[in-house]
Amino acid sequence: MERWRDRLALVTGASGGIGAAVARALVQQGLKVVGCARTVGNIEELAAECKSAGYPGTLIPYRCDLSNEEDILSMFSAVRSQHSGVDICINNAGLARPDTLLSGSTSGWKEMFNVNVLALSICTREACQSMRERKVDDGHIININSMCGHRVPPPAETHFYSATKYAVTALTEGLRQELREARSHIRATCISPGVVETQFAFKLHDKDPEKAAATYEHMKCLKPEDVAEAVIYVLSTPPHVQIGDVQMRPTEQVT
């Protein structure tokens, strides 16, 4: 990880869960981290914690609504003017709504698609442009995917979400191919966790907190820090090694 010290990583959805754990881990490794989310109060608290702990890196909170392309472009413009540009882009932000294929709302589908697919694609495009215009040839795009991007679980409320994560699988491999065609050494990786104990289920089942809690009660789940460790592993591999996908589940998870 020494070669990444003092370089800049963008982490989307950094206000909690996996995003916050990844941001903290990168700051511990000495990186400058721009952590973005729609609300930045939690990121500001995490930045203060990192500073008081004496971590060698810095966490910079940035308010950004990832469902709004203008917000994303403004964020990349600010990063360019204040910090030169992005060397690592961690597309972590994602959400699920309980909108089934037979009766779900179009607005719920759009909300998932806009963040899980379009925002990820826009951030990837802008990050790669930032790298290439600065002749950065060892940058890294890491997409926090899901095991739902590799198989479709039976619960109906996860089916559209699974479709967005299958898209992430395809987008990551497509990006790898386009970068090879461009003779770039920028790398593209998916990390696909199973059940991680975060607020994810409580947002999915926001009208049924008991069902949300039950998601995490029947097994020892992954922790956000487990996923953050996978991110550090992927970044720490030598530049000639490209990890395509890290699939990780709780040992007790069945599917």
Cα 239 to Cα 120: distance, rounded to the nearest angstrom: 23
* Average pLDDT for the chain: 97
- Looking at the chain, the whole-number percentage of residues with pLDDT higher than 90 is 93
Residue 206 has pLDDT above 90, yes or no: no
Residues 6+ away with beta carbon under 8 Å from 107: none
Domain limits of the chain?
2-248
d(CA 198, CA 204) in angstroms, rounded, equals 11
Q: Are 115 and 93 in contact (CB under 8 A)?
A: yes
Does 255 score more than 90 pLDDT?
A: no
Query: For residue 58, which phi and psi values (nearest 5 degrees)?
Result: -135, 140
d(CA 88, CA 72) in angstroms, rounded, equals 16
Q: What is the pLDDT of residues 138-168, one digit of tens each?
A: 999 999 999 999 999 999 999 999 999 999 9
Average pLDDT over residues 51-73: 98
pLDDT attached to residue 12: 98
**Which pLDDT tens digit goes with each residue over 64-117?**
999 999 999 999 999 999 999 999 999 999 999 999 999 999 999 999 999 999
**pTM greater than 0.95 (yes/no):** yes
**Cα-based distances in Å from 154 to 104, 113, 148:** 16, 20, 11
Residue in 161, 166, 216, 233 annotated catalytic: 161
DSSP letter, residue 194? S
Instruction: Give Cα 156 to chain centroid, integer Å.
Output: 24
Residue 208 has pLDDT above 90, yes or no: no
Which CATH architecture group holds 2-248? 3-Layer(aba) Sandwich (3.40)
Decide if 161 is catalytic. Answer: yes
Instruction: Over range 50-63, report the average pLDDT.
Output: 98
